[in-house]
Amino acid sequence: MSVPCNIFDVGNSRMEFVRFGKTGVVENFLFARSADAFPPAVSEHLLDGENLVLSVNPAAGNLLISEIERIGARPKALTTADFSSALAIDYDVLSLGVDRIASAFASIHLGEKSPLKIVVDVGTAVTVDVVHNSSFTGGVILPGWRVVSHSLSDSCALLPELEDIYSGRPFGKRTDECIRAGIRNSLVGGITRSIEDIQEAIGEEAEIFLTGGDANLIFRYLPAGTRYYRFLVHLGAYILFLGGYL
């Protein structure tokens, strides 16, 4: 299928546009959720090809769809139901975010022979999802580092809210350094323990996939062989499109 495909992944703090063509990803933009922030190149692309929107933020997703329609293009909002004909889902479908099922679907097609795949998405929230025998079978949800930092600052008068947690220190010499170390350790510990528990519960070694805007923070702490895909959500939607499921 040679028709270009434009895909938006709308998160809780930002959205990312990826355009797929004959050679794969041909262009991408990361920008604020406001549709007013469209770069001119994105507006031009929307009139050429399919336009797919995956959103975990209904208000931002609806605003984006309205803006795409205003330009004169025709968007399609993907839902979990769109993926249900392409893979089995052993989960409460009504509570399953479309980004999670898209990444899970991508892992099936990008993975190798292991029947167990674990997909880690590190963003505003962190998800550790389980794909077993080509079926989405559940997962773990953790707070992302920004959520934890905001909660600490909001609840404790003297603790600052952090703008980043980039620090190589195992412990701090200042309060902000201590918070960085603590949040990083809780994030890494929660993810790695979840992976260990999932593998132990199922009794198999997993292929591990990593994605999300903050994936770079924890990549080096994950098991050897972890596969990082920046556009895993987009790839899931694109594979669905190529497969003729839409």
Is 5-77 a CATH 3.30.420.40 domain?
Answer: yes
Task: Read off the pLDDT band of 102 (50, 70, 90).
Answer: very high
For residues 157 and 148, the answer to whether their CB atoms sit within 8 Å is no
Count Cβ atoms below 10 Å from residue 99 Cβ, excluding itself. Answer: 26
* Whether the predicted pLDDT of 98 surpasses 80: yes
Question: Within the chain, what is the greatest distance between any pair of CA atoms?
Answer: 57
Q: Strand 75-77 relative to strand 227-228: parallel, antiparallel, unpaired?
A: unpaired
The 10s digit of each residue's pLDDT in 149-190 is 889 988 999 888 888 777 667 888 889 888 888 988 999 999
The 10s digit of each residue's pLDDT in 198-214 is 999 999 999 999 999 89
pLDDT of the residue at 22? 83
* Whether the predicted pLDDT of 35 surpasses 60: no
Phi–psi pair at 185, nearest 5 degrees: -65, -40
The 10s digit of each residue's pLDDT in 225-244 is 999 999 999 999 999 999 98
pLDDT of the residue at 215? 92
The 10s digit of each residue's pLDDT in 68-89 is 998 899 999 999 999 998 999 9
Distance (Å, whole) CA 232 – CA 14: 16
Token pair listed for 246 = 């839409």
Task: Catalogue the active-site residues.
Answer: 99
* Whether the predicted pLDDT of 103 surpasses 90: yes
Most confident of 33-42, 129-138, 162-171: 129-138
| Model pTM above 0.85 | yes
The partner residues of 142 in beta bridges, in order of sequence, read: 126
pLDDT of the residue at 242? 92
Count Cβ atoms below 10 Å from residue 38 Cβ, excluding itself. Answer: 18
Which residues have a Cβ under 8 Å from the Cβ of 240 and sit 6 or more positions away?
Answer: 78, 82, 83, 86, 102, 105, 246
Numbered ranges of CATH 3.30.420.40 in the chain: 5-77, 88-145+177-232
Is 88-145+177-232 a CATH 3.40.50.300 domain?
Answer: no
Distance (Å, whole) CA 246 – CA 105: 14
Distance (Å, whole) CA 5 – CA 132: 29
For residues 237 and 100, the answer to whether their CB atoms sit within 8 Å is no
What's the mean pLDDT in 97-116? Answer: 94
* Mean pLDDT computed over every residue of the chain: 90
Q: Using H for helix, E for strand and C for coil, what is the string for 81-117? A: HHHCCCCEECCCHHHCCHHHHHHHHHHHHHCCCCCEE
